[in-house]
Structures are given as structure tokens and as C-alpha cells.
């Protein structure tokens, strides 16, 4: 039986690549413009070539001439999980993220050139209903080229063995005549308690802890005022309302807004999936990212675990900010593995 091969565009630190490899797929190359991604990607996916390039400027024939990738290969999978800040529902500057708007169409030229058996896309749900989305044009091109067998849906990662509420748009398309479906849901969703805490090897640490080992159980420092805020925040799901009446701790921007932005400065719940792990999960002021019990934000290894990265996955940087970017932008490997298994099952 011929083995499936894949090229992972916008591969980042390798979450999708790692998961596909776990499913038995040979990922021949990963492409990303971010130089911070290379060391981490290569360390965890040593048999895959990392190409530090702008997808829009990379010649279509590169993989054919350099890696022997053939056109019209029924067992070739092209993966395009393009950066999605422009379509994100999270409040952010759309001016800064305009460059990410059309990346899906830049990925298209490789589909057009290689005519692979399969195309995979993962993105934020906002790509479906944003008025300026390029998705309809991408789908039109797919169907015109013969990829009429398409399954697409907004899914939640918690339904696939990832201990996190993370809604994503997922698409599998093929030009082949075969049954397609998204992965089956797991029976029981994982909660924070199932993967974090001392019983899972996460020793108690303070804010600002520096872990110099490859485990990277490091946390960001907190100001004295934020430490006081967390000390007053109820364990296991407490919010900033716990200190809203303390004039020294209350933030002026939240006065009179007791029903808004309650996740900010909040603690995670032990017995619920984590909130969406973003690139700022190390910061308690950017969401419900405080530890359920300890007075600190999440560590890098905790964030990676909530994204379903295995405990031996290396993040080759000493920067918490850089590591969090690679983790928060990643496709959870557990979900990627299930997608790969769907393709390989027939």
C-alpha cells in the first residue's frame, strides 16, 4: 500500500505535522515564514524538511525539483492552516493582521500545481462569516478543479481529546471517490484536572519561576498588585469580581462593568476544559489564564499540555513569549492525528 505524504504549509512549531506523523503520514516538508518556528519544528520532526519561506514567494515547483514530490499523486496531502488573526473574533487590530487575510489563496497555487489527492484546512470560525473572507473563492476554486468531495464544519477541540474549549473551522477535501467525514467525537471530554496538577507531574511553583530544563515549566512574573488580586480571587474558577470593591485593586476600565470581560484575570476551573489557549496564555490579564489554585498564570508546559502537545515536545527558545506564540498558534496534535487517521482509514 502506498504511504500518504504531506506538505504542511504555515506549519509553525509543528503541531499539525506531529499529529499527522503520529497517524502514520510521511510529512516531507513544513513551510513557515517565522524564523522562531524552525528550531522547535526541526527538534520535534527531525525527518521533515523545514523551509523558512514566504508561501506567496515560494515557487510552486520547489517541492517537485527539491524533494521529488509528484503531481497528480492520490496519496499526497497539502495542508494549509494559514495564520488567522484577521478573521479572529478576539478583539485585535485588523490593520496589523491584513497580511493574513489572503494567505489561503496564496496556498491555492500549490493545490493547482500538484493536484494532490487531499487538501486540509484549519482556521478560526470567523473565516466563515467575515464579510471580507476569501473562503468562498477558495471553495469555488476547489470545486472547479474537481474537489467536489468536501466535508467542512466548525468543530470544538474538546470533542476530540483536547482538554480545551477551542472552536475551529476544519475542512477536508478530495478529488477521489471515497467516503469522507470528520473524526468521531470522543466519549468523555478531558478537563483541566485530567492533565494538570501535581498528580500529573506539575509541581507547585510561584509566578516568575524559571525552569531551565527542557520541560519549560516556567511562568511569567507578576506585579505585587496582580499577586494581591490573585490572592483574593477564589480558587477554581474565581473572577475579578472577587476584588471589584477593593479601591486599591479594582481597575478603572472595569468599573461598572461587572457583567463584561469576566474571563480577564479569572482562574480556570479544575473540572471543565480550559478556555482557548491563545498566544497570550501566559498573561492573566488576557483571559481566564490564572491557575485554578496557585497564585500565578499558566506555565509554558501547562499551556502546551492543554494544547495536547506530549510532555517530551521541545520548545527551543528561552523566551516565554516566543514559546507561547508557537503553542497558541498551533493545531492541537491530538486533533491533527485524528484528521490523519480519517484520511488513512481507507
Supply the residues annotated as catalytic. 84
Reduced to 3 states (helix: H, G, I; strand: E, B; else coil), residue 273 is coil
Which residue is associated with the grid cell 516556567?
218
Cβ contact 340:20 at 8 Å: yes
Cβ contact 333:283 at 8 Å: no
**Can you tell me the distance from the alpha carbon of 333 to that of 342, in angstroms, rounded to the nearest whole number?**
14
**Can you tell me the distance from the alpha carbon of 240 to that of 254, in angstroms, rounded to the nearest whole number?**
9
Reduced to 3 states (helix: H, G, I; strand: E, B; else coil), residue 341 is helix
Reduced to 3 states (helix: H, G, I; strand: E, B; else coil), residue 100 is helix
Cβ contact 282:320 at 8 Å: yes
Cβ contact 103:55 at 8 Å: yes
Cβ contact 317:323 at 8 Å: yes
Which residue is associated with the grid cell 476544519?
170
Amino acid at each position: 500500500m502506498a504511504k500518504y505524504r504531506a506538505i504542511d504549509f504555515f506549519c509553525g512549531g509543528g503541531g499539525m505535522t506531529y499529529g499527522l506523523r503520529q497517524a502514520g503520514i510521511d510529512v516531507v516538508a513544513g513551510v513557515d515564514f517565522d524564523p522562531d518556528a524552525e528550531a522547535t519544528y526541526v527538534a520535534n520532526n527531525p525527518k521533515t524538511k523545514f523551509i523558512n519561506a514566504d508561501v506567496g514567494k515560494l515557487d510552486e515547483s520547489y517541492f517537485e525539483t527539491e524533494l521529488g514530490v509528484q503531481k497528480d499523486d492520490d496519496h499526497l496531502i497539502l495542508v494549509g492552516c494559514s495564520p488567522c488573526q484577521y478573521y479572529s473574533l478576539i478583539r485585535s487590530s485588523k490593520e496589523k493582521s491584513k497580511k493574513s487575510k489572503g494567505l489561503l489563496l496564496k496556498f491555492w497555487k500549490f493545490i493547482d500545481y500538484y493536484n494532490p489527492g487531499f487538501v486540509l484546512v484549519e482556521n478560526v470560525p470567523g473565516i466563515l462569516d467575515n464579510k471580507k473572507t476569501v473562503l468562498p473563492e477558495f471553495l469555488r476554486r476547489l470545486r472547479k478543479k474537481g474537489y467536489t468531495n468536501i466535508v467542512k464544519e466548525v468543530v470544538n477541540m474538546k470533542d476530540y481529546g483536547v482538554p480545551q474549549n477551542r472552536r475551529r473551522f476544519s475542512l477536508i477535501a478530495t478529488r477521489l471517490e471515497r467516503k469522507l467525514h470528520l473524526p468521531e467525537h470522543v466519549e468523555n471530554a478531558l478537563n483541566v484536572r485530567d492533565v494538570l496538577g501535581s498528580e500529573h507531574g506539575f509541581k507547585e511553583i510561584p509566578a516568575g519561576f524559571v525552569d531551565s530544563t527542557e520541560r519549560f515549566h516556567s511562568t511569567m512574573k507578576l506585579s505585587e498588585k496582580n499577586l494581591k488580586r490573585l490572592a483574593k480571587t477564589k480558587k477554581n474558577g474565581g473572577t475579578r469580581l472577587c476584588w471589584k470593591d477593593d479601591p486599591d485593586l479594582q481597575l478603572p476600565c472595569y468599573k461598572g462593568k461587572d457583567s463584561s470581560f469576566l474571563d480577564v484575570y479569572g482562574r480556570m476551573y479544575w473540572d471543565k476544559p480550559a478556555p482557548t489557549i491563545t498566544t497570550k496564555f501566559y498573561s492573566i490579564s488576557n483571559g481566564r489564564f490564572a491557575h485554578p489554585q496557585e497564585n500565578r498564570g499558566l506555565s509554558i508546559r501547562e499551556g502546551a499540555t492543554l494544547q495536547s502537545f506530549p510532555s517530551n515536545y521541545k520548545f527551543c527558545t528561552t523566551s516565554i513569549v516566543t514559546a507561547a506564540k508557537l503553542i497558541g498558534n498551533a493545531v492541537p496534535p491530538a486533533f491533527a492525528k485524528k484528521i490523519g487517521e480519517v484520511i488513512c482509514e481507507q
